Structure 1
Amino acid sequence: MIASPVYEKEIVAIILYTSCFFMIVAVFLVVFFYFSRKKIIQKEVEKRDLEIHLQKEQLHAVIVTQEEERKRIAQDLHDDISSKLNIVSLNAHLLSSPNLTEDEIKEITDNIINLTAKALENSRKIAHNLLPPVFEKFGLNAGVEELSQEFESSKSVKVNYKNQIDFDDNDIDRHLHVFRILQELMNNSLRHGKATEIWVDFKSINELNTCKYKDNGTGFDSKNTENQKGLGMRNIDSRISFLDGTITLDSQIGSGIVVIFTF
């Protein structure tokens, strides 16, 4: 049976329309996937740029913190150690003076001994601030216990410290960042917050080491980002980044501060 010319034209038309439809769909899909892929790449680039920007900010914060620490150490060395050693040197030269009485020699010698002892004590304090011996020998738990006792010795603040984590001594380099974070928070609570009580609690939550820090100080408006741009907070953020941790901060004026960070 031979198809009529009209029927053949209808088949050809259907094939042409179907082909055109699939071509349009194909073009649409190509364009859609092209722009989708372009958008994904753009977001990845923006995310990478943001990460680079954050890394630069963190690096800058670390450098500034290191420079501030160097200045403080240099100032301590100049004010405490150098000045005392200069006086020791002057007293030592006095011993070579002629016609000194026994009492004068004894007085000069006593001055040299006393000044040398004070210089040694101050140098130990400077070294202690760089890396507390207790922390180095016995780890984070002992270091935080000693830090708490030091703050309590001021008689102006009570520190409630609890620990439910068995810290790995091999992680001392990472734990030093945790120690410095707490040191910074305590200093802020005492100096700026005028706190009279501090709580520090280490515990493992969902197999993640977590520290909850709280004080009863004056507090501040934590929703105001300007309040979190100080050198201390940038230093804390950079240390949290090194620890691959997270941090949340909540504070209101008159209600103290609550900080929770993981590491």
Structure 2
Amino acid sequence: MFENTDIISLILIALSFLLLMAIALVTFFFLSRKKVINAELEKANLEISHQKEMLQATILTQEKERKRIAQDLHDAISSKLNIVSLNTNVLLEGGVNEQESNELLGTILQISNTTLESSRRIAHDLLPPVLEKFGLNPAVEELTNDFNRATANLISFNSDYQPELLDAKAELHLYRIIQELVNNSLKHGKASAITISIKQQPLSLLYTDNGVGFENTESGGSPGLGMKNIESRVALLGASSTFKSSPGEGISFSLKLN
């Protein structure tokens, strides 16, 4: 028979063991929870950092675009209008014969036509009228046709996208992504063949070229401000994308709208 002191000792040992188990469980839960919280914080910080990078890339792209437009306005319009103004003042002041007057008027007319064409081109770069009036497919067709006339039909474009499936803002983002990809392929990739495909089901974009390619192939590691601008537009579309490339193998870009 156990004596009372032995029973009490066993009870105390059991209680101590249970207390230690409880402390161990609480400690394990606390450390596990802390690990989960730290992982979530790290993930959130990475997302915030990525969003900051995309925002910075967007701002830099906008500033670069503003500078380009300002330069275009100065070179293509302001300087030419100054010439028109000077020639007009000469006519108003008089003292020129009929032949000189006709030559000045001819110069004014020629410069006015050139300036008008330049202003149309700048307006087209800001927002293509075809995209605004007719939608995505005609706008991409116009873009590819413009390049093909100058580069011997290097771009192949096919699409079963239905009009107004996306709103105007989303169509503009998708158009700018395609435009940026084409510019990169021709300017940096030195491509001689480009394929652009837009699919309806699921709504997606596939872009490939046979250019020189480059290292660092997965999405998120794409180089250059232009590609960061593409990533920003992908995020604004709420889409997912994959970018692959390797030296001598061209590039492959796919986008899927969720």
**Aligned equivalent of 2:253, options 237, 253, 259:** 259
Q: What is the CA distance between 1:17 and its match in structure 2? A: 2.5
> Can you list the C-alpha shifts for 1:95-153, whole angstroms capped at 9, x where unaligned?
12334322222221121122111111100100100110000111111111111111101
Aligned-residue offset at 1:46: 1.3
1:246 maps to which residue? 240
User: Aligned match of 2:76 in 55, 68, 80?
Assistant: 80
The answer on whether the counterparts of 2:218 and 2:243 sit within 8 Å (CA) in structure 1 is: no
Tell me, yes or no, if structure 1 residue 216 matches structure 2 residue 206. no
TM-score (norm 1): 0.90
Matching residue's letter, 2:34: K
SS at match of 2:248: coil
Query: What residue is the counterpart of 2:184 in the other structure?
Result: 188
Q: Which residue of 2 aligns with 1:20?
A: 16
Partner of 1:178: 174
Q: Unpaired runs of 5+ in structure 1?
A: none
Letter of the 2:184 partner, please give it.
N
Q: Given the superposition, is the C-alpha separation of residues 121 and 169 from structure 1 closer, same or farther in structure 2, using an over 3 Å criterion?
A: farther
User: In 1, distance between residues paired with 2:246 and 2:234?
Assistant: 23
| Post-superposition CA distance 1:158-188 (Å, at most 9, x none) | 2111112324365111221111111111011
Q: 1:227 to 1:248 in 2, by over 3 A?
A: closer
Using the aligned pairs only, state the percent identity.
46
Contact 2:130 2:139 in 1 (8 A): yes
Pairwise CA distance, 1:10 = 4.2
Q: How is 1:29-178 mapped onto 2 (pairs within 5 angstroms)? A: 29-168=25-164, 171-178=167-174
Distance 1:38 1:167, change over 3 A: farther
How has the CA–CA distance of structure 1 residues 226 and 29 changed in structure 2, closer, same or farther, with 3 Å as cutoff? closer
AA partner of residue 261 (structure 1): L
Structure 1 residue 70, shift from structure 2 partner = 0.5
**What secondary structure does 2:151 align onto?**
coil
Letter in 1 for 2:23: V
Q: 1:119 to 1:103 in 2, by over 3 A?
A: same
Deviates more, 1:226-235 or 1:149-158: 226-235
- In structure 1, give the amino acid aligned to 2:248: G
Q: TM-score, normalised on structure 2?
A: 0.92
Q: Distance in 2 between matches of 1:23 and 1:190?
A: 72
Given residue 259 of structure 1, which amino acid in structure 2 is its aligned partner?
F
Which amino acid counterpart does residue 11 of structure 2 have in structure 1? I
Q: How many angstroms apart in 2 are the aligned matches of 1:225 and 1:30?
A: 41
**Matched residue SS, 2:155:** strand
Give the partner amino acid of 1:257: I
| Structure 2 residues without counterparts, runs of 5 or longer | none
Q: Which moved more, 1:138-147 or 1:165-174?
A: 165-174
SS of the residue corresponding to residue 144 of structure 2 reads: helix
CA positional deviation for 1:238: 1.3
3-state SS of paired residue (1:103): helix
Distance in 2 (alpha carbons) for counterparts of 1:157 and 1:138? 23
Q: Distance in 1 between matches of 2:64 and 2:248?
A: 30
Deviation at 1:220, TM superposition (A): 2.1
Distance 2:75 2:150 in 1: 23
How many angstroms apart in 2 are the aligned matches of 1:253 and 1:241? 27
CA–CA distance in 2 between the matches of 1:80 and 1:227?
A: 37
Structure 2 Cα separation of the partners of residues 85 and 157 of structure 1: 36
Distance 1:224 1:214 in 2: 15
Q: How many residues are paired up?
A: 257
Pairing partner for 2:229 from 221, 235, 238: 235
Task: Give the direction of change, closer, same or farther, for the CA distance of 1:227–1:17 in structure 2 (3 Å limit).
Answer: closer
Matched residue, 2:199 = 203
